[in-house]
Each structure stands twice: as C-alpha cells, then as structure tokens.
Structure 1
Amino acid sequence: MAQEAATTATEAPAADEGEIIVTGSILRRNDIDTPSPITVLSAENLDRRAQTSTQEAIQNLASNNGPALTNSFSANGAFAGGASAVSLRGLSTNSTLVLFDGLRAAYYPLADDGTRNFVDLNTIPDDIIQEIEVLRDGASSSYGADAIAGVVNIKTRRQFSGVAGRAEAGISSRGDAANQRLSLMVGKGDIASDGFNVYASGFYNHSAALYNRDRGYPYNSDDQRNICFNGNCGPNNVVNGLNGDGAFPDNGFNTALATFFVRPYDATNTTAQGRNQFLNPAAGCRAGTAYNPTAAELALPNNGSVPTTVCQEDITNLYGVIAPEITRFGGSLKATVSVGDNSEAYALFNFVQSNVSYSGIPTTIRGNAAPPFFFPRYSTSAPSVAYGNSVLTLPVFVCPRGTTAPCTAANGTLNPNNPFAAQGQVARLSGRLSDSREYDETRSRVYRVAAGIKGTVFNNWDYSVDVTAMHNELRHEYRGYAYIQHLLDVIADGSYNFVNPELNSQAVRDYVTPVNINNSTSDLYQAQFSLGKSLFDLPGGPLQIGFGAAIRYEAVDAPSANSDINGPTERYFRINGFGVKGHRTVYSAYGEVNAPVLDSVELNVSGRYDKYSSGQSNFSPKFGATFTPIKQVLLRGTYSRGFRIPSFGEANATFPTTGFVGNSAGTFNDAYLAQYGCTVATFDDDCPTYLSTGSYGSTNLSNPNLRPEKSRSFTGGVVFKPTRNLTFSVDYYNIKKTDVITTASVTPALKAYYAGQPIPAGFTVTPDGVDPDFTTAIPRVAFVGAQFINANTQKSEGLDFAANLNLPLSDRISWTSNIEASYIIELSTTFPDGSKESYAGTLGNFNLTAGSGTPRWHANWQNTLSFDDKFTLTGTVNYFDSYKLTAEDQFGPGSRNDCSGFDIDYTPCKVRRYITLDLVGTVKVGDNFTLYANVLNVLNDLPPIDAVTYGAHLYNPIQGGTGIIGRSFRAGVKVGF
C-alpha cells in the first residue's frame, strides 16, 4: 500500500520521522513520554475500529463524556443543528480545544444551546488524517483559551506518494441506514530524496436518514404502556391517547394534531357555544386513529372542550428522527518543499461541505417563542398578547386582503372555512397544517488555508512559522414553518382552504410557509512563530528552551433567523430567534523550558499570556515532571492554570437564548392552583394540560461585562512497561473551574409570581396569554429572564486507564490488544451560597448535558489478530456505564439517590450499562488491493431504555450512539499503487 505506516497503539509513540512536536509543547523531541498524558489514534487504528470518519472516532474516545453534541442530537432541536462536538471530562463543548496541525480552527457559526462556541467535527477532511492526538490535561499555557479539559489535535499527512483510493458501502440488517464512502488520493515526490512532495485528495461520504418508525418498540412509539417495572407501566403519551386503564384522560383535549378542529364561540369570541368538532367531518382524522370518548368521559370536569370524536396521533412514530441525512464531501491540496539544507515549507488548502437535513412534524400554527416576540390572538376585536396559549380564530366574514375597515356583511362574505358563520359565531381553530411538513437543512462550507516553514537557523535554533485562515459559511434553510402574519392574512381573507388543505395551490402554501434561508459565518485568521534551542547538556540530556508569539482574529456573524425587527407578527412559529455577532483580536506570547535534570528526572515549565481586544487578559502557567526510577516505570504529573473566554453568545448575543423548561408542582402553590381547580398534591392528575404539561421559557441574556472562567488542574500518573510489548498506564486528573458563567436560579422569580409577590430584582417575568378555559385565572409564566453572570465553581475529577499489548503468537500470527477507559470520580457544581450539586453516575448536569448525563465509566477494548500480514481480524468492545435517572440540578442537592423526581416508576432507577461489539476483517489481495468487511453491533443490542433523556426518544443519544441502528454491515476495498 502506498501509505505511510502509523502505529495503532493507544498510548505509545507515533512519530513519523525523527523529531516531532508533541501536542501541548513547542519543543521538538523524539518521543511522547511527556509529563502530560496523551492518547494517539492513527488512521490505521480508526479503520480497525470500523470508524468511517474522524468525527465518529473522536465521539468514541473514552474521555469524551456528558454534554457532547452528536449528529443525531442535532436533528432533534439542538441550537447548533447539523454539527458535532466533543466534550472531554464532561465539562461541555466549550472547554475542549480542537486543533488542526496545532493551529486553531474557526468556530461553528451556531453555538451549542446558543452559548457554547465549538469546532464542528464534521468539517474535518477525513481522508488526509494521519493521526489524532488527545492531550488529556489542560493546555492553556500552550494554546490559550478553552483548553481546560484537554486538546484534540488532528494531524494531517506530511507527505504522500502514489495513488490510493477507497470505496465502501454499508446497510443495517433491517435494510435501512444505508451509507457510502469514496476517497481518492494522488501524490508525487519524496521530501528527503526529491526535495518536495505534493498530493491532492478528495472524499465523499453519505448516510441516509433514519426515523423512529424504522425501529422496533419502544423506540418507535409514544405509547409506553408496555414498558413495565415492578408492576408499574408507562404512560400513553400518544396525543389524546388512552390511559393505562383504557379510559380517556381527564385533562382536556390536546390540539397538537394534523387534523383541524374548531369550537364555536359567540361573536365577541368570549363564550364557548359548544365542544370542539371536526372542521371537516367527512375527512375524519388526517393522521392517526379516531376514538369516540364515552358520555361519562366527556362529562369529566376538564373535558368540556373534548369533541365527540378525537384523533390519536403517535408523533414519534409518524415523524420522529433518529439520525438525519448527512452528505459530506471535500478536497485537499498540500505541497511541501525543502528550503536549503535545514528548512521545510508547506502550503495546505482544504474544502469541506457538509449537508445535514431531516423532515419534522406538520406545520405548527400555535406555539412558543422567546420575548420580545408576541403572538396576537386573532379575533374580531382588538388582539391581545398570547404565547404558547395563542388561539387562532376563524371570523364570521372574510374580506379581500388589504381591507382596512372592519370586515362585516357590508364589505365581506361569509367565511367558507367557518362552519358556524351562518349563525354569527366565530370558530376557534386548532391543529396543524396537514399539507405541509417542517423541514430543516444545514449546509456548511469550510475553506481553510494554512502555510508555514520550519527548520533550524542561527546555530541550531529550531524555528517554526505558521499562518492559517479559515472561513465557515453556514446556510440554514427552513421549509414548512408558518409565518405568523401570512397565516393571519389567509385567515382574514379566506384564501387558505382549512376544510380541505390538500386543495390549496402551491402558491398559497408558499405564502403561508415561505422558505426561510438564514446565512451565518465564522472566521479565524492566525499567525504564530516559535523558536527553540538546546542550550547545553544536563545529566539527563539537553536543556531546551522555547518561546513564541501569536496573533489571531476570530469572528462570528449569526443573525437571527426569526427576529421581530419588522413587528411582532412578522416572524415564524417555532424557528429559534437567537442571534449573535461579535469579533475580537487576541495577542499572545508564550515560552517553555524543558530540563532533564537527571537521567531519571525531567522537568517542564511553560506559560502563556493572552490579551483580548474585548478587554480581558490572562496568564496561564504550567508545570510538569517525569520521574523514571527504573526503566520499566515512568511517573508523571502536571499542574496548570487555564481559562475560558466568554463565548460570543454569552457576551455578544443580539437576541436572547431561550430554552423551554417543563413546569412542575414544585414551582406552583395551592393558592395559585386553586384557580384551576387542583392542588400541588393532585398536580399531574387533576390540573389541566395547560399547566401539567406546559413549559416556560428560561431566557438567558448576554452580558458584555463577563469575566473569563478560570481553571486549576493537575494530573498524576504512572506508566508501567514490564516488556517492550506491554504497557499499562493510570492517570488521575482533577480540574476546578471558578467564575463559571451561568444564570441565576429562576426559582425565586417563579415562586414570587405564583404567590402574587413582587418579582426579585434582576429578573423579568412575562406572563402567558389568558387560558381560554380559565379566563379569570392568573396566567402561568411564559418566560423568565436573567443575564449571564460569573458565579459558580465546577469540579471534574477522575481516572484514565490504558493498556497496550503487541505479542507475536508465532512466526505467522500476532496479537495486538488496546484498552482505554475513563472513570469519573466527581463532576459537580458549587454555588455562591455554598450548596453543591453532584452529577457523576446520574443524568446531571441535566440542563448542561441535555439529559445525556454523566456515566462514571466509558471504555473501549480493541483486539486484533494478524495472519502473515495478509489477514486481520479485529474485535472492538465499546462500553458505556449505567447511570441513575435523577439529577441534582433538577431536584436539589441530596437528590442524587432519589429517582422519584422525574416520576418514572415504570423503569428501573438505574439505566443499565450498554455494551456493543464490532468486528472488522481485512484481507490483502496482492500488493495493491485490500478487501475488508465490518459487522457493527454484532449482537444487535439496542440501547437501554431511558425515559427521561430528551436528546432522543427513550434512549441516550450519547450512550446509544450508532448502536440504535442495530446490527449493520459494511464492505469495501482499498487500493494503492
């Protein structure tokens, strides 16, 4: 094969030729036995793990945990849709730094949860990756901000000569989740002998969309009544579904349907004249199944609006998305030349395009949005403000569009959509547009140029100069989302056929749901240089010093896709209104000293000073040491201080970030709930759906006066090498972040509102619209807002384990075994009042991790048998630990062992551990061809049930990963000349 060799060891030297620059250092050395623990994954290693992309490999790192962002989660409502990000040590995506050949990369234009900047792993050009180095300690002294939890450095090929290609295709055992992969690389020249090398490459990857209906129960349904534990069975969450006892529930009529219902009201739109009913009885239920409640069920106290026939829709089965369709392609061109006898220059260009798309639910015509966006209630009288409780009303008369006078019999006609118009009654409309589906597509195009020169000058000074520029342009296309004012227009003029939506012209549909295309960009420009030299010999080797300087510019321009700049109704339902725009320049200086003071002792000291044009500055020191008492044992340790600069979303957001949080009985009180005929004790059973299943928007406002988060971290470990073929390592890490950026708890504001007391200073509370079924009651909260502040302390503590074996079993057979495991001892948050929440082994931090939690163990074990260098068989075991269905950030300190908070009694308190097995077989055919076949998730074990996690339906998207696909197969061929 015309490809450079690379080691497959998890923790072992992976040098290409001669001296190398190890991630986290500016000094050249001959090995990676540094004070810092480093994991190395080679391109060959990725192939043996059956991982088709660098993104997939990084997501499977044992040290990746908690709030990582996966492609599947980004198809389920994530702010940063279409992207993927790593989260080392459970400290979120903004505390892990991702580099390309030691240089920074531009942020994804959209931020995770609207606040956390990160590098999208989908933008990595997979085909030219030589290896991935993961520095598992803080590295702010080398790289500056964001390197708190660790650094992922993706290294590209230095050179390539010949022709190499790959063709691969795969499919699941169920005949879906198809995927294809193509790549081609050509190169010429050898740097050592010819003085140059140039290569070009291109790749194409495609993965088909996968929907919940494509998988078995319970992942394909909202009906959880067949999920049972200890005699308790789950709820029926099918819209208007029956209770476990087979009865229709006493909590009103759920109108989130693809079928239109109407309810008659008097001409003033204040008094109901009857129940809801089909707008088109002849058409019946346009989705789902029909059910006729009994007379007794219709007579229940909260069922006064329930129609005599309801539609039951299983939203997950009809529309749920497991994985979006992903198409990625790109190309690279790299040229490297020798400059004189002692230098080498390079230039590299990359282009990667990533398209991620999926279809969703039928078009929504009522819903939530963040303030200051208001939804007027359309009626014959002056509109009033409403949010999640907004109601659309079909008037008695309709008039031509543009009519400014009140629409009456004198200038209008009876509304053809209103079945009660002839009686002078308006019709309150509920449902979704059955002739339209919401559709999202992101197209990310990344252009990157890097160039540099390195070598020796001035009496053996090692130097390196690098520059890079990267531009990320993101096009987010939304289809099938209702534009509020246009919806009001067609209601007023009768031009939309609500009775028979399938008869609407495409022009009318396009008017109601105009395509929304939002373009965002991010940019990074960086220049840096370093000098290093061996000054003189110490007993253990040469004393090395190095120093350098850098300047970079970074910017994000992500305008709101749904602003209210043109008025409160000139916007869409359900499209996120968040927007951000900011830029800054960073000036840096750094230095490093490496001193092998004895044969057995090496000391390393480094530091970096960063100054931001936005006013912040920081000095980050780091100290490291290794001690080798005997050649088989290496002791290592580091101590460092780092920082995370406030993100553009935290400091420069042009529109607020709003996440919707489910209401709970804990925020209400009996005096408030008495207006609705229920109490805290009967909250889930007797309170109307408006309260019991409602949610309020927790709105975060940017703050330009934020300080950087500060970190203190130390590591300590031992590497044991009893033989040249066997290595063990254990490393302890302890990271503490202070001045953590957060928002204050909104509970005091909620409780004050529901108790009728003044709202505490620093909070804003916006009430929802009046509930039409409880017009005299005080409305629930729609939004509660507060600015970001520096307040909390976070701690992450744990152990990393690695073992590597390379053992010849005979002259013809060899065995290689690599295991990597990470154990979280503690992940916690301490608040200014001294209270502390601990998350390890639970779903916490629930808000930060989107309910994907913090399992203590994450591990993988790879074993490869090689036969005559012609055949290989590799088995990889992936392990994801169990965790409890509780979270102290939801229910307070001390609740980590109490699973009653989420009210899930039909599954065990602990979600079981998840283990999958992948097999890869390869065979060389001559010198130029290699055939291979992969069987993923050999045992076809789907993820364990998690009824709380909201990033996926009934399973954890981080734990489940690609396991939810079930058993799947891939086969391909690699060629090289």
Structure 2
Amino acid sequence: MKVKNTITMKKKTLALCITTALLASQSLSAFAADEEDIERIEVTGSHIKRHNMDGPSPVTSISASDIAKTGVTDLIGLFAKLPIAGQGTFSTQANSSDDTANGGSSVSLRGLGADSTLILVNGRRVSVSPFAKGIDTAFVDINNIPLSAIKRVDILKDGASATYGSDAIAGVINIILRDDIDGMEISAKIGDTADGGGKEQSISLVFGNHTDKTSNTFILDYFNREGVLYADRSYSSTANQAERRPNDPYATDFRSSSGIPGTIALNSDPTKRLADIWGNDKCPSESITQDTDENGDLTGYNLCRYDYAPHMTMIPASERFSFTYMGKYEINDNMRAFVELNGQNAKTTIKGAGSPSFNELFMAGDNPNHPMADMPDHEFYQQDLTMRRRMVDIGNRIKKVDSNYYRTVLGLKGELGEWDWEMAYSYIKSTSVERGVDGFPNSRRVQESIDNASWNPFEPSQNSQAALDYIETTTTRVGKSTNRTYDAKISGPVMELPAGELFIAVGAEYREETINDNPDDQFLRGEIFGTESTAASGSRDNTAMFLELAIPVIDSLELQLAARYEDYSDFGTTTNPKVSFIWSATDDIAIRGSWGTAFRAPSLSQLGLGRTDESPNLVDTIRCDAVGNVNKACEPQEYTAVFEGNPDLGPEESTSYNFGLMYNITESLELSLDYYSYDIENIIDSDTQFVFSNFGDDPNVVIRLPTNIANDPGEVVTIFDSFQNIGDLTTTGIDLDIRYALETGMGDFRFSYILNYVLKYEDKRPDVDGGQRINVKEGDFEQPQFRWTTAVDWSLDDVTANVAINYIAEFEQDQSVRVQGDGTILAPLDAMVTVDASVNYYGIENTTITLGATNLFNEKPPFAYHDFMGFAVNTHNGQGRFAYLKASFKF
C-alpha cells in the first residue's frame, strides 16, 4: 500500500528527528570518558567518523595527483579507464543529432547502469541532468565538476542504500572538492589528437587563504575542446562497412535508405520504389542498391542510399566555464559554518547529416511536379507517391546546447563533547536549452509546399531560397531539474564495551526533486521528422531516516550495522539494512565483508515521459518468417518506436554481498582481493525487439502498411512501447588491487595492477512462454569479462614519469547482424590495449611542467559489426592518440 504524507507533516517529522538526536547527544556526552584528542574523519560508505580510512566496505580513493598522472582532461576520461566501469558508462563520444543527452557523461559501476550508480559531491546528492540519456536513464552529469576542483574521488564498490538511499545499487562515487588552498596556483594545458579534431585548451586558477577563524578556496576553470567527426577517422569515415571490408560477407551497408534526391514509392505499395527515377543518374550509381523479393531475387526496385557518417559528430565541440567556492567560518570552539558554491556554464555543438524522411511525405498523382507526369506508360503515372528523402538542401543538422549548473550548500557542523554533528540545506539546479539551428525541416510546411508545388522534392535545383527558408525551422527544447534537501546527522560514542567504544550515527533527510523536459510545440505536434526528442515532467518528495552502529566485538573485529527508511510521495516506502564487518586477523591481514539490500526508485523521466519517438535498430522477425528478406526485413534497420512513461512502475530492488582480503605482504608489497555478488529484481527497462517479435502482428502494438506480396504482414510504420519492471540481473566477480614500492639508486618505483574479472553476468528478460530468457551474459557484446590497468611511477630528483597500460578483454560481436537462419558465429572483437605516458619536471621553483600522451601508440578500436561507426562506442574510445603539454605555477 502506498504511504502518502503531506509535505508539512514530513518537515515536522524531520525537525523532530534532528531535535531528538541533538538532545540525545547532549545527555550521552556527559557520560563519555575523556580520550586523547585524535581527529576522526568520515569515510565514504559510513556516517560514523573513524581514525583511519580502512573500513568494512571496499573503497578506492583516487587523489588529485593520481588523476593528473592519467592525462585525462575530465572526470569521464578517468572513470572510463577504471576496470570497474562497465556497460552503461557513457561520455560525449557518439553524441549525435539524434541523441537525447547531448554533452552529458556518466559512469556505470559494474555495468549495472548509470542510474544505479550514486554520484555524490562532498557526501551529498546533486540533481540529475534535465535531459535523460536514451530517453529513460536519469544521470548526474559529471562534466559539471572540473578536475581542478577535485581533491580526491572515493569509489565505494558495494551497495549502499542503507547509508545513502536510492540509486546506490552498484555503489557510490563521492567527489571531494578542494578546500585547503593557501596561496595561488595557475595551470594551463594544451593538447591535440594525431588524426584530426579534438584540440583542447584549458586553464584554471586556484587561490585561497586560511586564518584562525576562516578558510576560503576559490577555483575558476575554463575548458575548450574542438569537435571530432566520424570523417576524421579512417575506420568510421563511411557508413558502408561493406566498402571498407569488401571480402567480409557480414560487413553491412549502413547507409541510410533516405537519400538525396531520394527514392519515390507508390503510396499504395511502398515496396515498389525507384531511385534512378529519371534515368539520368540524379542519384549517384554507387548510392543505388536494389531490393530483393521473398526468394532473394533482385526486383528492379531501387533505393537511393546516403552516407551520413562523414557529417556526424563523434565527439561534440564543448566549451565549459566553472567556478567553485568552499568557505568555512569558526563561530566558536565547537561550531563552524560552511558554504559550498559550484556553478558551470557549458556550451556543446553537435553535428549530423541532413534530416531524413521515411515515407512521412506524400505527392498526389495530379501534382504539377509529379516526376512521371509526362510518362503515361510508366506504372507510377498519375499515382500517389510517398518518398524517402534526405533534406540536404536546407543544410546538415546542427544543434547547440547551452547548460547551466548551480549548487549551493549552507550548513553548520560542530562537536558536543565527543559527538560530531552536522546539518545543512542544499539547493541544486540544472538547466539546459537545446536549439536546432540548422537543417531541421517542419513537416507540415514541407507537405504544404509539396501540395502547392512551391517546392519540388525531386528537382532540388529548381527550388528557390524562399521556398527552402519556408520549410526550414529552428527547434527549441528546454529542460530543468532541481534538488532541494534538508539533512542532519550526529555521531559519537554511546558506551564503552570490553573491546572499545560503541559508536552510533543517526540522521534524517528531506528531499524535493523536480524535472521538466519540454520540447517546443513543433515536436509535440509531430512536425519535426528525423530527429529524436523527449518530453517529461514530474516531481516527488522523500523523507528518510537512518541509523548506523559500529560495534567493537573483540579487539580485532568490528561489526557495522546500518538501516535506512525511505518514504517516497509517488510509490511508497522502503527499508534497507546492511551488515558489514572488518576483522584484523593479524597486523598484516584484514578480512572484510558486507551484506545488504538496495533499491532504485523509478526516475521521474521513466514515470512522466510524454510521447517520444525513438529510432532503434530492430529485425522484423514476423515479416522475415512470413516472406523472407524482403526489403531487408531479416536484417537490423531503423524503425520508429513511440515510447511513453509508466506511472505504475515500482522500484528496482537488489541484494548484494562482498567478501574481501587485505594483505600487507611486506612493507613494500600489499594487495586487496574482493569477491562481489549482486542480485537485482524488477529492473526498469524496455525490450522493443521482444515486443516487436512477439506482438508485431497486433495492430494496437505495430502499425503496418499493406503490400501486394502474398502473406506479407506489411511494412512497419510505428511500434508502440513503454517501460516496465521487466527483468532480473545477477552478476558476480572479483576485484584485485596490487601495489609494490621499490627504492633503487636509479630512483623510486611504484608499481600497481588493478583488475576486475566478471565471473557471471546474466540479464534476464521475459520469454514467450511466460518464463525468462538470458538476454545478455558475460562476454556478450560490450560485456568484456575482464579489464585491467597496470602502471609504474618513477621519480628521481626533479623528474617523475608514469606509464600505464589499459586492457579491455575481447567480447562477442552483436550476433543479430547476421541474416536470420545463418548459423555462422561472428568472431569476437579483439581485445584493446592502450598505453598512457607522462613526464613531469619540477626543476623550476614553484613550477611543474608535464608532457604526456594518452593512447600513445594510437591504437584503433577493434572492428564491430553492429553499427555504422564500426566500433563499440560504449566500450572503446575513438579519440586516438592525444598528446598534451601542461604547466602549473604556484605563488
């Protein structure tokens, strides 16, 4: 049963919790024994402050200097190299004019999805991007945080809903900002790729001061990156894989069936179509392909194809300006005020080929511009026509996205005896305006211009500039998301046990979230074709209370218990517990483990998505089974799928556990080994191919146009789909981290090796019999079983150097690209190995000069059959070698 409370009652509950906690601390602290004043720190994964970083949960910390050694220029560049990052991690790579989250990036721990990885800044939530990725994935855009503002990044590698609430199924990434600057530092960096595009410039200014009562840190950061087109890389410069691989029978021609001047077809039977309609090669002969009938024989009906790849963005142009302020003021010896202010303006430019139309436009048989008006013997004479046409004559598509991010935190913290307390108010807002500034046609105006003969789609050279200006439009999409939070917590010792003090943390949080994604009326009326857009609106509030205990069982064993109660205004309540321990078996060996439950609330986009058109690559299995490979029905191609949100969605729920060993083998050699397991139920997703294959003959699910081919169910116009709690996922694996330090007469060396090995990954979805099938498993497409990174750092006098090797294992091709019935198994994608290197010179006072390169040997991504670009954009990087020079000066 859903539990609904008014906002007023929830705020009163929160206030009561805060008051109770503070009163309890005052009475308990009176009985606390005096101890040596050793500073306790809060470690990611727990609200209880402790004296060291080692806790029951596996946490990896990456310092600012560690980040600098990688040579990356933004956070997603760092996270994409992490062995723990998996499918669902996405950068601005592959942002195109059809993308719904242009300019955004986020990380997916363990391949469980970007919306199952909780992103925190200084331990607090931030708002999600107003534009969801892939229309349904709500994500925190990590491009909002510049590297210059980061002190360290903590990665908690097990479920943490008992501590932090929703979205922490896979783990938590906590970004800690710099707040310890006393002086001034300026850094500048330039870089360029080996193969064209992608030039970068960045500059940052960091300054601050400390006094007895105040601390102020200011950070200004500017970043500019030139765009990269698929045309800039030889392996992605054409959408025709068959041309690049002429002896490969499975290389696909992904060129669009919407060309220029295009293909005409009979409105009564769209399978009868012609490209070279005048017999004078208006469509270049190399762009014409011929259809086959149900027997695979050529029919003589042609398609005028179009190579869109050279015009599309691989990596969009980006310009970002950020500011950060971290301030503290000591009110008295036991109380401090703090302020955190962050903001960023980001401008992104995305390019794509001219808008395609797929049978949306029509020409009457008596139209003056009818191409067969003077051919009475032609079968198309005086017939109503439809067409596949690309609107190149009004220009290629360009979208510009202007995004603003603001984060404000105001708070108090202090001590009451031996108890630490903190309370804060935070407000985060993200806004984005996406404008289509070139190459976007208005279908209503286009059809009107065809009907009144002012624009001739079949003779582009005859059209006036005024006619082109009339059919072209500009588009606008405005998004906004907010997160308003009140939180309070208190922690400290409760009592003395034989093995030490029992610590407790208790707290409460009240949060209000909103999201709005509003395309302009042209999108809502369906007047913009060939480009995807979303519409979503929603709001919710949430009240949470949490409790945590750290219990010293014996001198060498600590048990940690945590529980969090959540009350959501839109789907009800949930309680999630967690039990963890750390046992110091010897001075050099520690064993840790955890078990807990976690959940992910359905995103506001998934609940409130309005009618949204998508263009997934699907196989029409029903038509393929009925009439064979007519019009490539047995091969993957784009279809129009219409999605809407589902207000009846429930949360995803998971159970996870972790068991690990930390071993200091010698003073110079240490390792940690962790086994993890996740079992997730009620995954929120869609499976359009499943719907298409199993309900493709239901006119309420799939709209088709009839043809004159016997037994042909018809050519697909639209597929309707929505989000469901549709499946389950289980994954297990091993994390290994080895560190070794060696001092020699030729310098000091530090070696590291980090491995993630996926033992099992099973993404299960419904089958036709009401059971489940394994949709994705370990080793499948974009699911490599293991990744590792090994590095060596060397330092001698005024010089340091770093070399890192990044390895992504092979994985299977997307086998759906094969023609149905072909039993051939495509060979897997090769493993990809890249090398990063950098050298630092400190011989000039207060100055650091760095020369480095990522992907030093310009390794190309392995070939993939699944899409036109020929590589797995969600797993492999197409940037190539990027060389850079950086200088930093301290004053």
Q: TM-score, normalised by structure 2?
A: 0.87
- Equivalent residue, structure 2, for 1:251: none
Q: Contact between 1:711 and 1:738, CA under 8 Å: does it hold in 2?
A: yes
**1:426-437 mapped onto 2 (5 Å cutoff):** 428=385, 429-435=387-393, 436-437=395-396
- Equivalent residue, structure 1, for 2:413: 454
- Equivalent residue, structure 2, for 1:3: none
Q: Contact between 1:929 and 1:974, CA under 8 Å: does it hold in 2?
A: yes
Q: Contact between 2:263 and 2:304, CA under 8 Å: does it hold in 1?
A: no
Task: Kindly provide the amino acid, as one letter, of the partner of residue 867 in structure 1.
Answer: L
Task: Give a deviation string over 1:698-751, Cα, whole Å, max 9, x none.
Answer: 554432222212111110000001234332000011111122234578757745
- Equivalent residue, structure 2, for 1:52: 73
- The 1:482/1:770 distance shift into structure 2, 3 A limit, reads farther
Task: Kindly provide the amino acid, as one letter, of the partner of residue 56 in structure 1.
Answer: G
Query: 1:204 Cα deviation (Å)?
Result: 1.3
- Equivalent residue, structure 1, for 2:261: 259
Q: Contact between 2:257 and 2:305, CA under 8 Å: does it hold in 1?
A: no
- Equivalent residue, structure 1, for 2:873: 957
Matched, 1:464 2:422: yes
Query: Residue 23 of structure 1 is aligned with which of 30, 40, 44?
Result: 44
CA distance in 2, matches of 1:40, 1:904: 47
Query: 1:819 Cα deviation (Å)?
Result: 2.2
Q: Contact between 1:826 and 1:839, CA under 8 Å: does it hold in 2?
A: no
- Equivalent residue, structure 2, for 1:358: 350
Matched, 1:314 2:307: yes
Matched, 1:884 2:784: no
- Equivalent residue, structure 1, for 2:860: 942
| More off after superposition, 212-221 vs 596-605 | 212-221
Matched, 1:769 2:769: no
Q: Contact between 1:538 and 1:598, CA under 8 Å: does it hold in 2?
A: no
Matched, 1:630 2:632: no
Query: Residue 156 of structure 1 is aligned with which of 177, 185, 188?
Result: 177
CA distance in 1, matches of 2:306, 2:819: 28
- The 1:904/1:527 distance shift into structure 2, 3 A limit, reads farther
Query: Residue 649 of structure 2 is aligned with which of 706, 709, 714?
Result: 706
Task: Kindly provide the amino acid, as one letter, of the partner of residue 663 in structure 2.
Answer: F
- Equivalent residue, structure 1, for 2:216: 198
Matched, 1:861 2:790: yes
DSSP-derived class of the 2:55 partner: coil
CA distance in 2, matches of 1:467, 1:633: 41
Task: Kindly provide the amino acid, as one letter, of the partner of residue 582 in structure 1.
Answer: G
- Equivalent residue, structure 2, for 1:113: 134
- The 1:908/1:301 distance shift into structure 2, 3 A limit, reads closer
CA distance in 2, matches of 1:96, 1:638: 18
Matched, 1:305 2:248: no
- Equivalent residue, structure 2, for 1:37: 58
Q: Contact between 2:450 and 2:456, CA under 8 Å: does it hold in 1?
A: no
Query: 1:629 Cα deviation (Å)?
Result: 1.2
- Equivalent residue, structure 2, for 1:420: 373
Query: 1:461 Cα deviation (Å)?
Result: 1.7
Query: 1:556 Cα deviation (Å)?
Result: 0.6
Query: 1:112 Cα deviation (Å)?
Result: 2.4
Task: Give a deviation string over 1:668-694, Cα, whole Å, max 9, x none.
Answer: 465x42xxxxxxxxx34xx23467565
Query: Residue 631 of structure 2 is aligned with which of 688, 710, 715?
Result: 688
- The 1:260/1:764 distance shift into structure 2, 3 A limit, reads closer
Task: Give a deviation string over 1:139-198, Cα, whole Å, max 9, x none.
Answer: 1011100101000000101221111111111112234321111111121224xxx32121
Matched, 1:392 2:381: no
Q: Contact between 1:946 and 1:955, CA under 8 Å: does it hold in 2?
A: yes
- Equivalent residue, structure 1, for 2:740: 805
Task: Give a deviation string over 1:277-324, Cα, whole Å, max 9, x none.
Answer: 667888945x78577999x99xx9643434xxx8664332x3243222
Task: Kindly provide the amino acid, as one letter, of the partner of residue 782 in structure 1.
Answer: V
Query: 1:911 Cα deviation (Å)?
Result: 1.1
Query: Residue 916 of structure 1 is aligned with which of 820, 834, 838?
Result: 834
Task: Give a deviation string over 1:569-602, Cα, whole Å, max 9, x none.
Answer: x511023253211000100111111122222111
- Equivalent residue, structure 2, for 1:142: 163
- Equivalent residue, structure 1, for 2:108: 87
Q: Contact between 1:87 and 1:96, CA under 8 Å: does it hold in 2?
A: yes
Query: 1:645 Cα deviation (Å)?
Result: 0.6
Query: 1:610 Cα deviation (Å)?
Result: 0.6
CA distance in 2, matches of 1:76, 1:734: 38
Unaligned runs of 5+ in 2: 1-37
RMSD between superposed Cα atoms in Å:
3.3
- Equivalent residue, structure 1, for 2:13: none
- Equivalent residue, structure 2, for 1:14: none
DSSP-derived class of the 1:213 partner: helix
Task: Kindly provide the amino acid, as one letter, of the partner of residue 873 in structure 2.
Answer: P
DSSP-derived class of the 1:47 partner: helix
Query: 1:396 Cα deviation (Å)?
Result: 3.9
Task: Kindly provide the amino acid, as one letter, of the partner of residue 738 in structure 2.
Answer: A
Query: 1:327 Cα deviation (Å)?
Result: 1.7
CA distance in 2, matches of 1:196, 1:798: 46
Task: Kindly provide the amino acid, as one letter, of the partner of residue 700 in structure 2.
Answer: T
CA distance in 2, matches of 1:597, 1:168: 52
**1:611-622 mapped onto 2 (5 Å cutoff):** 611-622=567-578
Q: Contact between 2:478 and 2:519, CA under 8 Å: does it hold in 1?
A: no
CA distance in 2, matches of 1:394, 1:925: 78
CA distance in 2, matches of 1:271, 1:122: 49
DSSP-derived class of the 2:473 partner: coil
DSSP-derived class of the 2:399 partner: strand
CA distance in 2, matches of 1:291, 1:744: 33
- The 1:799/1:200 distance shift into structure 2, 3 A limit, reads same
- The 1:92/1:565 distance shift into structure 2, 3 A limit, reads closer
- The 1:585/1:607 distance shift into structure 2, 3 A limit, reads same
Q: Contact between 1:841 and 1:882, CA under 8 Å: does it hold in 2?
A: no
Q: Contact between 2:704 and 2:713, CA under 8 Å: does it hold in 1?
A: no
- Equivalent residue, structure 1, for 2:882: 968
CA distance in 1, matches of 2:691, 2:119: 39
Q: Contact between 2:778 and 2:784, CA under 8 Å: does it hold in 1?
A: yes
Matched, 1:590 2:590: no
- Equivalent residue, structure 2, for 1:660: 616
Q: TM-score, normalised by structure 1?
A: 0.80
| More off after superposition, 144-153 vs 814-823 | 814-823
CA distance in 2, matches of 1:874, 1:885: 34
- The 1:43/1:277 distance shift into structure 2, 3 A limit, reads closer
CA distance in 1, matches of 2:96, 2:360: 27
| More off after superposition, 634-643 vs 194-203 | 194-203
CA distance in 2, matches of 1:735, 1:879: 24
Query: Residue 528 of structure 1 is aligned with which of 468, 484, 487?
Result: 487
- Equivalent residue, structure 1, for 2:19: none
Matched, 1:490 2:449: yes
Query: 1:863 Cα deviation (Å)?
Result: 1.2
Q: Contact between 1:914 and 1:959, CA under 8 Å: does it hold in 2?
A: no
Q: Contact between 2:107 and 2:114, CA under 8 Å: does it hold in 1?
A: yes
Query: Residue 195 of structure 2 is aligned with which of 149, 158, 174?
Result: 174
- The 1:669/1:75 distance shift into structure 2, 3 A limit, reads closer
Q: Contact between 1:433 and 1:501, CA under 8 Å: does it hold in 2?
A: no
CA distance in 1, matches of 2:680, 2:842: 50
Q: Percent identity?
A: 22
- Equivalent residue, structure 1, for 2:27: none
Query: 1:59 Cα deviation (Å)?
Result: 2.3
Matched, 1:926 2:844: yes
Task: Kindly provide the amino acid, as one letter, of the partner of residue 919 in structure 1.
Answer: A
Matched, 1:839 2:776: yes
Task: Give a deviation string over 1:838-883, Cα, whole Å, max 9, x none.
Answer: 634333xxxxxxx6x2111122122110111x21110011111111
Unaligned runs of 5+ in 1: 1-16, 240-253, 368-388, 398-413, 674-682, 844-850, 892-898
